[in-house]
Amino acid sequence: MSFIAPILPGNAPFTPLQRAWLDGYLAALFGDGATALPVTRTEATIAVPPPGAQLPAPQDVPWHDPALPLDERLALAAGQPIERQLMAAMGQLDCGQCGYQCQSYAEAIACGAETQLTRCVPGGKVTSRALKELLGGTGKVAPVPAPPPAISRGTASVPAAPGEPLLARLIQAAQLTHHGSDKDTRHVILADESGALSYEVGDNLGVVARNDSALVVQIIERLGAKPDTPVLSTDGVERPLAEALSEFCEIRRPSDQAIEVLSSRAHDIDESHILQAMAEGYPGIGPEDADLLDLLEIFPSARPPLSELISALDPMQPRLYSIASSPRHALGEAHLTVAPVRYEKRARRRTGVASTFLCDRRKPGEPVPVFVRQNDGFRLPPPDRPIVMIGPGTGIAPFRAFLQERRATGARGRNWLFFGNPRRRSDFLFENELTEYCRDGLLNRLDTAFSRDQDHKVYVQHRMLERAAQLWAWLEDGAHLYVCGDAPRMARDVERGLAYIVGKQGRMDPVAAKAYLARLAAEGRYQRDVY
């Protein structure tokens, strides 16, 4: 079905730029058939795929977009074979944290080779619950074997383990944001002492973190246990309780299975019922965003045998970070740009496992277990090609690496960076380096969007709109486009902005503009590393 997208009334109180942006936004929002803009499609300026041509891979799997909410992804996959529907429930990052890609994890579940439904870190509980529901609420695959998938970029077998992590050494986790900032973003430098940490720009670094020992101590106290009590850990090995909780268990988001164990062992019937409802995912039941300590505090009658509880928790998963350095520039080092997760909930300070492991709990000189996650879908083009990099916030990380690489290799292609953060004074990450790159000509264009420096928000996509004609000219010159950073908001809105620019500048209707971007993606000229 196609809709006519609404157009802002002529007297609406917006500047021409805001009006253009909102019209584009509405056009994108109303989908494929929308006709908000009085543009005509001309074949002369842009070659869209001819009718009947083979669709590029991304269109075969339209739900494979981390910027789409789960319900939209599931709707797009409705009626597809079960492994496609399962795939639509994944986080869509192909981040490899589960040991698979989204598609191969789904295929492994569908054919029964994988029974663990909680491996998807970016998808979290929402994904594991959706998987369970798709499998008929049982969490088990129907006995009918899944047909072989029509598209496959990998085989569904056992997950690819990252291998034994290497020990890097923390050199620093220095603050990049300045006094007065609402944010804390860190420049993490890790030294590769083994000489075995081999990476390319665009790769991610997996960090194998430990839980906060203070939190582990509180949990052990609440359990009324001793730290050295042997328990069955999530890896199937018997270990001291403190070690299992510190290194092997996901304690920030207890698994549904662990909540079920708590429910089944709760002496208080009300507590048991609430825990059971939580495990089944009833919305609004029980404490929101509860970690293991919350559950033990709020449900004091739930005290299962230790091994039963510990082995039902999810295994701790590594976290990925975009590498912010080029190995040719930062010899023997890997740099990261990390936003530590810290917030208050129920009068207790909560901290992200890996981000605060790196930024708060490891001291300079201490070891950090890491591995490289190769990211072939996020690579620099040939050296003479222009590139446009869109990376607000921590999304700047891989682009710092790209620039270092282009400098180190003498690549002559033009470079354009869009960067955004709340305030210029406190949040202009790598300001000195970037302005130096502008001065010496490595960065041909730098456009910044400081969102909170004025009354209304200014984001990177607004700057892109202001420079639409030049951006289009770069694209027509063969530029490669890169986006990195927040998936659900930024990457989605940037894509809408891009579609608008392509439509307007290339005189295409929204369908053709979307097809243009899909073609860029299929050609490897539009690459995203979003989370």
Ligand X SMILES: NC(=O)c1ccc[n+]([C@@H]2O[C@H](COP(=O)([O-])OP(=O)(O)OC[C@H]3O[C@@H](n4cnc5c(N)ncnc54)[C@H](OP(=O)(O)O)[C@@H]3O)[C@@H](O)[C@H]2O)c1
Ligand Y SMILES: Cc1cc2nc3c(=O)[nH]c(=O)nc-3n(C[C@H](O)[C@H](O)[C@H](O)COP(=O)(O)OP(=O)(O)OC[C@H]3O[C@@H](n4cnc5c(N)ncnc54)[C@H](O)[C@@H]3O)c2cc1C
> Which residues of this chain interact with ligand X, rule CB under 6 A?
183, 339, 341, 352, 392-394, 420-422, 451-452, 457, 459-461, 485-486, 489-490, 493, 531
Residue 93 interaction partner, one of ligand Y, ligand X, none, beta carbon < 5-8 Å per kind:
ligand Y
- Distance (Å, whole) CA 527 – CA 389: 10
Residue 252 interaction partner, one of ligand Y, ligand X, none, beta carbon < 5-8 Å per kind:
ligand Y
Of the candidates 22, 217, 285, 341, which one interacts with ligand Y according to CB under 6 A? 341
Question: Residue 74 or 339: which CB sits closer to ligand Y?
Answer: 339
The least distance separating ligand Y from the CB of residue 412, rounded to whole angstroms, comes to: 28
The least distance separating ligand X from the CB of residue 428, rounded to whole angstroms, comes to: 11
The least distance separating ligand Y from the CB of residue 457, rounded to whole angstroms, comes to: 19
Residues 6+ apart with CB under 8 A from 136: 142
Q: What angle do CA 167, 170, 175 make, to 5 degrees?
A: 150
- Here the tokens at position 503 are 């439509």
**Should residue 122 be labelled a site residue for ligand Y when binding is judged by CB under 6 A?**
yes
**Of the ranges 11-19, 133-141, 170-178, 350-358, which one interacts with ligand Y (CB under 6 A)?**
350-358
CB atoms within 10 A of CB 391: 26
Question: Residue 202 or 420: which CB sits closer to ligand X?
Answer: 420
**Of the ranges 33-41, 190-198, 214-222, 333-341, which one interacts with ligand Y (CB under 6 A)?**
333-341
- Closest residue to ligand Y, judged by C-beta, is 352
**Of the ranges 28-36, 80-88, 348-356, 453-461, which one interacts with ligand Y (CB under 6 A)?**
348-356
- Distance (Å, whole) CA 239 – CA 311: 11
Of the candidates 292, 338, 370, 464, which one interacts with ligand Y according to CB under 6 A? 338
Residue 486 interaction partner, one of ligand X, ligand Y, none, beta carbon < 5-8 Å per kind:
ligand X
- Distance (Å, whole) CA 135 – CA 110: 9
Question: Residue 17 or 57: which CB sits closer to ligand X?
Answer: 17
Q: Is the Cβ–Cβ distance between 251 and 245 less than 8 Å?
A: yes
Q: Is the Cβ–Cβ distance between 285 and 175 less than 8 Å?
A: no
Question: Residue 146 or 502: which CB sits closer to ligand X?
Answer: 502
Scan residues 25-84 and list those touching ligand Y (CB under 6 A).
none
- Here the tokens at position 488 are 């659900």
Of the candidates 22, 339, 408, 468, which one interacts with ligand Y according to CB under 6 A? 339
Residue 321 interaction partner, one of ligand X, ligand Y, none, beta carbon < 5-8 Å per kind:
ligand Y
- Distance (Å, whole) CA 462 – CA 494: 9
**Of the ranges 149-157, 275-283, 351-359, 515-523, which one interacts with ligand Y (CB under 6 A)?**
351-359
Output the 3-class SS for 370-434. EEEECCCCCCCCCCCCCEEEECCHHHHHHHHHHHHHHHHHCCCCCEEEEEEECCHHHHCCCHHHH
Query: Side-chain half-sphere of 179: how many Cα atoms within 13 Å?
Result: 0
- Here the tokens at position 14 are 């917006």
3-class secondary structure, 441? coil
Residue 485 interaction partner, one of ligand Y, ligand X, none, beta carbon < 5-8 Å per kind:
ligand X
Of the candidates 320, 368, 403, 517, which one interacts with ligand Y according to CB under 6 A? 320
Q: Is the Cβ–Cβ distance between 340 and 184 less than 8 Å?
A: yes
Question: Residue 487 or 511: which CB sits closer to ligand Y?
Answer: 487
Q: What do you get for the CA distance between the two ends of the chain, in Å?
A: 31
- Distance (Å, whole) CA 297 – CA 302: 9
Q: Which residues contact ligand Y (rule: CB under 6 A)?
A: 93, 95, 122, 204, 252, 289, 319-322, 336-339, 341, 343, 352-355, 394, 397, 529, 531
